[in-house]
Amino acid sequence: MKTKKIMAAVLSAVALFGTCFAAGCGGGGGGTSSGGDYGNVVFNERTGEMYLDTMEGKTPIKITYSAGNGEEWMRQWCRYFLESEEGKDYYMLLTVDEQATTSMSSRLEGGSNLDDIYYLLASPWQSYASLDQLENLDELYNTQIPGEEETILGKLTGTWKTYGQAYNQNELHYYIFPSSTPVTGIVYNKTMFDEYGWEVPETVTELQALCEQIVEDTDGKIAPFVYPGRVSGGYWDFIGTNWWLQVTGEEKMNEFMQFESPEVFNSDSIASPSYGKLTMLQTFEDLIVKNKERYIARMSGSYDHYQAQQAFGAGLAAMIPNGSWIQSESGEDIEDEIRMMETPLMEDALEDENGEPIRYNYSGQPSFAIIPKAAGNKEGAKAFLAFTCRDDMLQLYTELCGAPMPFDYDVDSLELNDFQQSCIDIWKNSITWFEDSRSPLWTGLKVRKFNSGDPYVNLIINYPGTTADSWCAAEYAGVKGAWDDWN
Amino acid sequence: MEQSGQIKRRYRRRKKSVNEIVFMITLMAIPVLHFCVFWLFINFDSILLSFQRFDMQSGNWVWTGFSNYRELYNAYIMPNSVLPRAILNSLSVFLWNDFIILPISLFCAYMLYKKLPLHNAYKVIFFLPSIISVTVLTLSYSYMLNNFLPDLFSKLGLESLIPFDGYFADPDTAWWTVLIYGLWSGIGGNIVLISGAMARIPTEVLEAGKLDGLSLLGELWYVVIPLIGATLATLLLMGTSVIFSYFLQPKLLLGDAADTVGGYTIALYIVNNVRDNGTPQMAMGATIGVLCALVGTPIVLVTRKILDKAFPVYEY
């Protein structure tokens, strides 16, 4: 009897521990307010309701977003919207949901209880548009921004001018709304660099010399790099695609993204955009892969992105492939000063007419906002999205998140911290590029930028069984073999 | 008078039979509807879907003949394809479950049945992993292999036992971590079922065995296993289903690098290609599903036939 009681107590304790542990790991759900200042606007952290004076007689605008860049930006946007003339008839209902992107497809298919706006991470949204699940935003794009003379489309910059378009019933319309444009590349520990007197490298050759110096100066106790091996590509693509752009150029990369023939994957041809891919992977192989036991922190291959960022914060490595979001995501784990460096230049990087190297910023597949066609308050949602394009709202976002938005607005007058400033400086001095294609092979998910799986972690783990050359050759053979069936 | 009585009886009988029919229809409606919607429709639709393709421009499904099957074949034969390894891994899970985990579970259950010292404590130890959520369990298992073991080996001066990229990212150890996790977490559930079957064995049979001079292992082999054969057969048969359904453990343990470290399974391939990629890839999911059914059905039927012969049911 006594044994049974002990067993029951042990089992209950374990079950309770498991439940608490699982709940602790859950993340999403309720707000974790930083206690921001919302003026006269009331924010109920528990329910996510936000209103000015009262909710009675007003219509809710329901917004779901993820907290990758923190939560304050959304709350502040909502606060200013509610205080404005445009927001006087509304109140906001905010939900933080880290799984919103992965569950969006089934939510849209369900079609009920949908929020009015979803802020999503990179995902195959073109199929949502094709299935007529998204609101047509053509009118919104041509709306004049409140308090300004420009339309939203007129104020947009770069690829975003057309990226939001997709086919529905054979017609091309805007279906998604732009979100931030991250800056990616190499984040480094400035405190550590200053302490040891290390210089920020300008070129890949200098980067290699720096890696050697780091190993030498610290007797191998600090690795040059740490990376998240459990995440697709190990974040190396934030360096890799920047290198690929440097040697191939924006124009050729866009030609690649049209996927007009399998030859765009032929890395043996100097004329092919994939020649730059091979060059980039060879550089990665020479620099990182061949020196992995000296240049990469032990156990990196088993880290997820949080663990890698924690290891970087703990000083196990001097650099990490990452982006402008690292401070919002893992700022608490990083006590040292950090900065973003311009991606070191490849030996055969393209130059402009003045002989200066052309700088690129690969922002990664972009995040965006959608309004579901079955949403309850589409007009309110559009009014809110238009409001967020005002100069002051864009500046507010950049100040809070340290990332620019793809609009034409002034970032020079902003008060940014040093890390944010280093990101904005890179953004200002470079051409931002990300994958954009209307090829049915791309939107139909038949071809990818790397069509034979992730090359970076594959090389790190399987070299010399897999090399840059063999990986590219396998990719080309695979695409060539399947091309006829895809078309 | 007689005629009116006959009419009344006939009317009552007819009324009774109408009521019976209504009752039977009501009784059967839900299971039949369930069968029609969740089996017949879904399977029929999957077969049709495997011959279609989603046209992104028009938003319609169009017939494409066998192109999905050809595309899958191309994906299988292309260099760096994850599919051959995924098939091998899926089969290895079946073999591991049926020929490693089940015999160990049987042996442990028998030891507990024989009330060896601390058998109640062992019952709790074995059963614990089965009642904790798989997410929590994989987290603690990851912590053990990523932190605890490397620290322990470092302190013992056994650094050579720690792969540079960690156990989950080394192709030589990654799949073994998944299999060993399966052993750790799967043994408890089996023990509960097998212990339940053993508890039903009549003590007279065991005593007769003892009188005949059977040893502990002899008793297990000649008496216990034949008498719990039906339970073992069920567990063995259930092992075949994991060939096409095992994905959560490698997904949680190996993350996005599952393909790089040889940790894919057939189910993980389907999940990653369909769930994460939405509508355009649904046809490919249906195609793999149809092929799995074509391959899986004979495997299940043959296994069942063999098990029926190997484990005849004894009434007691």
ipTM: 0.78
| Residue A22: pLDDT band with limits 50, 70, 90 | very low
- Summarize the confidence of residues A192-219 as an average pLDDT: 97
Is A132 in contact with B277 (Cβ distance < 8 A)?
no
Same domain assignment for residues A166 and A213: no
Confidence of residue A25 (pLDDT cuts 50, 70, 90): very low
Contact check, Cβ <8 Å, A126/B124: no
Residues A232 and A195 both lie in one domain: yes
Ranges A262-266, B5-9, B224-228, B304-308: which has the least confidence = B5-9
Query: Would you say residue A27 lies in a domain?
Result: no
User: Are A354 and A322 found together in one domain?
Assistant: yes
Mean pLDDT of B128-148: 88
Taking the C-alpha atoms of residue A7 and residue B124, their distance in angstroms, rounded to an integer, is 7
Q: Which residues pair with A118 in a beta bridge?
A: A64, A370
Say how far residue B200 (Cα) sits from the centre of its chain. Answer: 25
Highest mean pLDDT among A17-21, A77-81, A400-404: A77-81
Q: What angle do CA A388, A389, A394 make, to 5 degrees?
A: 80
Q: Do A405 and A348 fall within a single domain?
A: no
A150 pLDDT tier (thresholds 50, 70, 90): very high
Q: Is the pLDDT of residue A202 over 70?
A: yes
Model confidence at A193: pLDDT above 60: yes
Q: Does A469 touch chain B (CB under 8 A)?
A: no
The parent domain of residue A256 ranges over 184-362+437-486
Is A29 contained in some domain? no
A370 and A358 part of one domain:
no
Q: Where are the beta strands (DSSP E) in A82-168?
A: 90-96, 117-120, 165-168
Average pLDDT over residues A392-421: 93
Judge if the upstream peptide bond of residue A464 is cis by omega within 30 degrees of 0: yes
Query: B166 and chain A: CB distance < 8 Å anywhere?
Result: yes
Check whether residue A386 and residue A458 sit in a common domain: no
**For residue A223, what are the CA distances in angstroms to A141, A144, A449, B251?**
47, 51, 30, 28
**Are A327 and A68 a contacting pair, CB within 8 Å?**
no
- Looking at the domain assignment, is residue A84 inside a domain? yes
Instruction: Indicate whether A233 and A122 sit together in one domain.
Output: no
Q: Is residue A432 part of a domain?
A: no
Model pLDDT, residue B93 = 95
Domain assignment of residue A427, yes or no: no
One domain for residues A350 and A370: no
Residue A31 has pLDDT above 50, yes or no: no
Give B288→chain A minimum CA distance, Å.
16
Instruction: Please indicate, yes or no, if residue A56 is contained in any of the structural domains.
Output: yes
Say what the pLDDT of residue A133 is: 94
For residue B274, pLDDT beyond 80: no
Contact B170 A461 (CB under 8 A): yes
| Residue of B170, B279, B287 to mutate, interface with A, max A Cβ within 10 Å | B279
Q: Is A138 touching B (CB cutoff 8 A)?
A: no
Q: CB-CB: which of B254, B257, B277 is closest to A445?
A: B277
* Chain segment A90-102, per-residue pLDDT in tens: 999 999 998 899 8
Residue A102 lies in a domain: yes
Q: What pLDDT, on the 0 to 100 scale, is given for residue A160?
A: 94
* Region A353-364 average pLDDT: 93
- Give the model's pLDDT for residue A5: 58
Name which of A77-81, A169-173, B17-21 the model is least confident about: B17-21
In chain B, the residue whose alpha carbon lies closest to the alpha carbon of A481 is B74
The C-alpha angle with vertex B303 and arms to B300 and B308, in degrees rounded to 5, equals 120
Flag whether residue B75 sits within 8 Å of chain A, measured between CB atoms.
Answer: yes
Count contacts between A and B (CB, < 8 Å).
169
Q: What chain A residue is nearest to B250 in terms of C-alpha separation?
A: A230
Using CB atoms, pick whichever of B57, B77, B260 lies closest to residue A453. Answer: B260
How many domains does one find in chain A? 2
Nearest residue of chain B to residue A307 (CA atoms): B146
B-contacting residues in A 273-292 (Cβ below 8 Å): 292
Q: Return the higher-pLDDT residue of A39 and A174.
A: A174
Partner-chain residue, chosen from B80, B132, B162, that has the shortest CB–CB distance to A452: B80
Chain B's closest residue to A466, CA to CA, is B80
Instruction: Tell me the nearest-neighbour CA distance from B184 into chain A, angstroms.
Output: 17
Query: Looking at the structure, do residues A262 and A378 belong to the same domain, yes or no?
Result: no
Q: In which band, very low, low, confident or very high, does the pLDDT at A18 lie, cut at 50, 70 and 90? A: very low
Q: Which amino acid is residue A400, in one-letter code?
A: L
| B139·A25 Cβ contact <8 A | yes
Q: What is the mean pLDDT of chain B?
A: 89
Q: Is the pLDDT of residue B276 over 80?
A: no
Cα gap A368→B283, rounded to integer Å: 27
- Report if residue A377 sits inside a domain: yes
CATH number of the CATH domain containing A96: 3.40.190.10
Q: What's the pLDDT at A32?
A: 39
Query: Residues A21, B186, B200, CA angle at the centre, nearest 5°?
Result: 120
Are the C-beta atoms of residues A404 and A395 closer than 8 Å to each other?
Answer: no
Judge whether A240 and A321 are in contact, CB under 8 Å.
no
What does the pLDDT read at residue B312? 83
Claim to verify: residue A177 and residue A190 sit in the same structural domain: no
B277:A486 CB<8 A: no
Asked if residue A291 and residue A165 are part of one domain, the reply reads no
Residue A347, both tokens: 């030996």
Same domain, A335 and A377: no
Is the Cβ of B169 closer than 8 Å to some Cβ of chain A?
yes
State mean pLDDT over A310-333.
92
CB of A430 within 8 Å of a chain B CB? The answer is no
pLDDT tens-place string over residues B44-65: 999 999 999 998 888 889 999 9
The answer to whether the CB atoms of A301 and B277 lie below 8 A apart is: no
For residues A94 and A65, the answer to whether their CB atoms sit within 8 Å is: yes
User: Can you point out the beta strands (E) in A106-170?
Assistant: 117-120, 165-168
Q: Do A300 and B165 touch (CB under 8 A)?
A: yes
| pLDDT at residue number A20 | 44
Own/partner contacts of A270-277, CB < 8 Å, gap of 24 or more, are: A273/A248, A274/A472, A274/A475, A274/A476, A275/A248, A276/A244, A276/A245, A276/A247, A276/A248, A276/A252, A277/A244, A277/A248, A277/A450, A277/A472
SS (H, E, C) B227-251: HCHHHHHHHHHHHHHHHHCCCHHHH
Interchain CB distance below 8 Å, A230 and B255:
yes
Shortest Cα distance, chain A CAs vs residue B104, angstroms: 23
